[in-house]
Amino acid sequence: MKLIPAIDLKNNKVVTPNSNNRSNYQEIPIDKSPTSDPIEFIRYLLSINNFTTIYLADLDSIENFKENNILLIDILNTYKNIHFIIDNGIRKLSQVEILDCDNYTQIIATETFEDYTKLCEVSKINYILSLDFKNKEVLSKKDEYRYLKPKKTICMNLDNVGRANGLNLKNIEFCNNLFPGTELIYSGGVRNQKDIINLSNMHVNEVILLSCILKKEITFN
């Protein structure tokens, strides 16, 4: 099972959820990390384990406040040996791979993306679909995401992010039924090593998480 640390960025700082309302996200506290600076926080993560992939979410862009592309490019250039998967809230196909770097994969998230018709017509774009669940439903302005054929899909449980309140097995089943054969990545609610084992038994390929890593509640292979 591949473990992917999750980093949420807001106002150029690493933030942590204290509710499912992003407006209440605060800088990551000192008892969890010695720094909220993104560059230094990644260095801290790499001191815990030799992670090869890291998830970045630009909350300012996702919430349609501003883009932090300069910060994202700085991170990508600082850690060229790390592969990043990035949700920067893109809404149009023209925004895919707007960051001029080779060490990341674009996330297309149902929460924000609207250009599904054009995406279905293009076969050469490398992306990961994030199927965003909130209040037991897929969070999306349009339902054309159903016609995509993603190689990789994130089962993103927004209500559970940062809350360590357990796995949402129904959403995993929904993703697998909607996109048979997709490589599934799970995010939201992971509590401990037992949850990771259960996900592996459900043929989940990768897990996005953070709290368990910082609390050292999991083991690394």
Read off the pLDDT of each residue in 181-198 and give the average, rounded to a whole number.
94
Q: Quick: pLDDT tens for 40-53.
A: 999 999 999 999 99
CB 52 within 8 A of CB 61: no
pLDDT in tens, 55-73: 999 999 998 778 888 999 9
Q: pLDDT per residue over 84-106, tens digit each?
A: 999 999 999 988 877 889 999 99
Whether 56 is covered by a domain: the verdict is yes
Look up the CATH number of the domain holding residue 184: 3.20.20.70
Position 151 in a domain: yes
Using the predicted structure, report yes or no on whether residue 36 has a pLDDT greater than 90: yes
- Residue 8: inside a domain: yes
Q: How many domains does the chain have?
A: 1
Asked, for residue 221, whether it belongs to a domain, the answer is no
Question: How many Cβ atoms sit within 10 Å of the Cβ of residue 26?
Answer: 12
Angstrom distances, CA of residue 95 to CA of 111, 118, 119, 208: 15, 12, 12, 24
194 located within any domain:
yes
Cα pseudo-dihedral 103, 108, 114, 120, rounded to 10:
90
Q: Considering the domain boundaries, does residue 220 fall inside one? A: no
The domain of 203 spans: 2-214
